[in-house]
Amino acid sequence: MASAFAHALLAVAISKTSSSKNQLLKFSLLAMFCAVIPDADVVMFKFGVPYEHFLGHRGFSHSLVFALLLGILVTKVFYRDIPLQSRQGLFLVLIFFLCTASHSLLDAMTTGGRGVAVFSPFDNTRYFLPWRPIKVSPIGIKQFFGPKGLAVIKSELVWVGIPSVAYVAFIWLVKKLTNR
């Protein structure tokens, strides 16, 4: 998996798409939550659930169906005043869906693991992208702080950090040009 830092950074970049400054902190925190929560499935190891299982690591919680359901749930719970079918409601669902789905994209670009069940529950096959430049992050905080974790952070700075900063700069420029 990519580290929680990379998932959160990409979500913050995606959340910058919003033009609502008064809700930006709430929006960004929810975006980060959506991007990081798929890895909560690692608790299944504690219950003896194998990696390859539907509920195993990189299983259903890493799927596009899960991303859509979470996007809807987060919008319904945290933006109750906004009708889900409205333009703003659909925008929120889309952003939270993208933040959650970005988790699977980053994990599918890592050098380790057994792939991502992107199409679960319809297909539990685990997939990787053909291009996998991000070093896989070790599971657990102890293993992360050391040479292996440093290598992960370096690869994430190149493959997630730089594109995220470029995206935020692009969004800023677009907003500046359209506000004239």
Q: What is the per-residue pLDDT for 131? A: 92
Element (H, E) at 6: helix 4-15
Q: What average pLDDT does the segment 152-162 reach? A: 91
DSSP 140-170: SHHHHSSHHHHHHHHHHIIIIIHHHHHHHHH
Average pLDDT score over the chain: 89
- Count other Cβ atoms within 10 Å, centred on residue 8: 19
Query: What is the band of 162 on the pLDDT scale with cuts at 50, 70, 90?
Result: very high
Cα–Cα separations (whole angstroms), residue 54 to 22, 50, 63, 75, 119:
39, 9, 10, 26, 11
Q: What are phi and psi of 53, to 5 degrees?
A: -65, 155
Quick one: which of 160, 23, 39 has its CA closest to 95?
23
Q: pTM for this one?
A: 0.87
Closest by CA position to 67, among listed 102, 91, 39: 102
CB 105 within 8 A of CB 95: no
- Share of residues in the chain with pLDDT > 70 (%): 92
Mean per-residue pLDDT for 143-153? 76
pLDDT at 76: 97
Tens of pLDDT along 100-140? Answer: 999 999 999 999 889 999 999 999 999 999 999 998 877 66
